Amino acid sequence: MQISEAESRVMQVLWEQAPRSAEEVITALADTGWAEATIKTLLNRLLNKGAIAASKDGRRYQYAPLIQRDAWMLEESSSLLERLFDGRVAPLVAHFSQHRKLSAADVAQLRQLLEEIDDGQP
């Protein structure tokens, strides 16, 4: 399921807390500067894609995610790897390393992950 960058901002709000009304989503996204109509359009797009559900609560709707954040992240990251790095992680890390986008903390975390993989731990 393709979710645009703007739609993913709406999803983040719903993943943080759901269900939420359109007004609550609008308030949560106030820092974006988006108009109310824009946010309602994004909610409708997500509804049409089957990414969220809407349930009537009195005179308004409550929105909740139908897809899990982890599942979406896996799909997005896999797609990025396939498109840009032929499905391989090492060239991705090398790319960030060459462009100095890895901090010392990032390198330490990568080393720890590699040690865990070598030790057969998850």
**pTM summary value:** 0.79
Residues 20-31: tens digit of each pLDDT: 999 999 999 999
pLDDT above 90 (res 122):
no
Q: Structural domain boundaries of the chain?
A: 5-65, 88-122
- Topology given in CATH for the domain delimited by 5-65: Arc Repressor Mutant, subunit A (1.10.10)
pLDDT average, residue stretch 6-19: 97
| Residues 6 or more apart whose Cβ sits within 8 Å of residue 22 | 39, 40, 43, 60, 61, 63
- Tens digit of pLDDT for each residue in 64-78? 999 999 999 999 999
